[in-house]
Amino acid sequence: MRTRKNSTKNAPSRAWEDYLKAIYKLEKPEPTDKGVQTKELAERMSISQASVTNMLKKLADEGYIQYEPYYGVTLNDSGRSIAMKMIRNHRVLESYLVERLGYSWDEVDEEAETLEHFLSDKLVERMWNDLGQPTHDPHGSPIPNIDGTIERKNLTSLAEVKLDTPVMLERIKNRSPEELRYLASIGMHIGAKIVIKNQAPFNGPLLIEVDDQHFHALDYRMALALFVEDNTDSINH
């Protein structure tokens, strides 16, 4: 493994913070014998692999990550702390923009991506407390605690749910503003009751019922990004 050459870290730049956050999001939930791969980071950040490799060498020299070309990347404690801080800032910001400033859920990601780097811990805490200390952002993603811990639920992709099984929408992951606007237009919201009524073969579109009111066709790839909890008992009673 590469080790840090300098005894004192430089303050992380915005670019470094973006990389550390991306690495965290690409890490596998269960330990594996491989770290995050350069190709994965390049695809997620829309940057060349050569540029990613150069940045990873800098982050390794600063002691924020462990990096080996054939093994991949893992976060050190200091890198993970920064990643969690950025994620907390981002998700508190998204919540504040929706709840206090009237933004819709398709408008907040770009604003939060810019502002998350410039917030003090004091301001984030005041926003979070003003909101009533929410545990999840407008898309259902968990907000890390101030100590960097994060709540994890065992959620299932909607694409894996059996027909005629009522489920509750808990989280929407990595959707574009256009896709979020479409989901809103068919009545989707966090907490919505969804029932798959039919599905075309070979991973074709799903026919879904939303909140016992509307039927809509949903692309299978979209269903893969919608995460649900089977709350059959609580929904039906």
**pLDDT (tens digit, 9 = 90+) per residue, 213-226?**
989 999 999 999 99
Kindly list the distances between the CA atom of residue 132 and the CA atoms of 102, 106, 138, 222, in Å, as whole numbers in the listed order.
Answer: 17, 22, 14, 31
Where helices occur in 62-168 by DSSP H, the ranges are 77-99, 108-115, 121-130
pLDDT of residue 109: 95
Ordered structural domains, the chain, with CATH: 14-75 (1.10.10.10), 156-236 (2.30.30.90)
The mean per-residue pLDDT over the stretch 223-235 comes to 76
pLDDT tens-digit profile of 125-141? 999 999 999 999 999 99
Q: Which among 49, 51, 55 has a CA at the least distance from the CA of 17? A: 55
pLDDT tens-digit profile of 178-218? 999 999 999 999 999 999 999 999 999 999 999 999 899 99
Residue given tokens 């003003």 in the structure block: 130
Tell me the β-bridge partners of 64: none
* 6, pLDDT greater than 70: no
* 17, pLDDT greater than 70: yes
The mean per-residue pLDDT over the stretch 107-112 comes to 95
pLDDT of residue 148: 87
DSSP state of 160: G
